Amino acid sequence: MSHNNQKKIAVINDISGFGRCSIAVSLPIISAMKIQCCMLPTSIFSNHSGFESFFFDDYTDRMQEYIDNWKKLDLRFKGIATGFLGSRKQIEIVSGFLNDFGGDDTIVIIDPVMGDYGKPYSTYTEDMCRDMIKLLEYADIITPNLTEACILTETPYREDMTDEELEEIVKKLSDKGPDKIVITGLQQGDMVANLVYESGKGVSWVRNKKVGKERSGTGDIFASIIAADAVNGEDFEQSVRKASEFIIKCIAKSIEMDIPDTDGVCFEEFLTTLS
């Protein structure tokens, strides 16, 4: 009996029990969009690292045995989505996973969670940045923020880049492999913009009115909607628009419900609208 009669996305990311981010966000969203979400954890947190204290268990040494058992089941995925990777070893394991489970029938979505506000995260070394650039060769879709796009193209970071400069960055990213790119969360006055690139179509912009502050997990929500829509064959620009508008609704509702910023957004209130 085959285990592959339903569309599946493998999500490689950490698990946070509280705080609405990473796999805790991807699982319900991808499931709501009528795709089976198969989790490959990189680490386990009681709550994400934005809180003052948290429990953490690194899963790196268990990942390969976990993957080997998926091989025994002959699992096949219509999509593979990666999130934060905490070490060179994890990037190496993910590279192997993409070799083993990727292919022409599998869409690879890489969210290169490497940094923000112009700097890489403290855990990201120069070697890890180079390894992540190599990982882009496997990608069909990538969803970097501006900091990550600059790191990946070795471009000096500036908050006040012109549209033309940003479009040049996205073209450099496309040369590294992916056919579809969205640079997310660009701050433009009272607007938040996403720069969309699709091979054969060029660039376009999706802009929305800014609402509230940045919150944990919104990037995971965005990438999960993009991944599920890609597997479901939806138009890329429309998917970016849908993900952006969904997050804005969630932020506005979270403000209304007085949800602390650390607790992410109450996406559960709108989950059924995604299907």
Mean pLDDT, all residues of the chain:
96
Mean pLDDT confidence for 261-266: 96
Task: Report, as an integer, the average pLDDT of 14-23.
Answer: 97
Percent of the chain with pLDDT over 70: 100
Residue 35 pLDDT greater than 90, yes or no: yes
pLDDT the model gives residue 214? 82
Determine the average pLDDT of the residues in 217-243.
98
Res. 30 pLDDT band, cuts 50 70 90: very high
Q: Is the pLDDT of residue 1 over 90?
A: no
Domains of the chain: 8-270 (3.40.1190.20)
Nearby residues of 164 by Cβ (< 8 Å), 6 or more positions away: none
Q: Examine the pLDDT at 275 and tell me if it is beyond 90.
A: no
> Tell me: the pLDDT tens digits for 152-167?
999 999 999 999 999 9
Mean pLDDT across 7-24: 98
Mean pLDDT confidence for 259-274:
96
- Report pLDDT for 115: 94
Q: pTM of this prediction?
A: 0.96
pLDDT of residue 213: 84
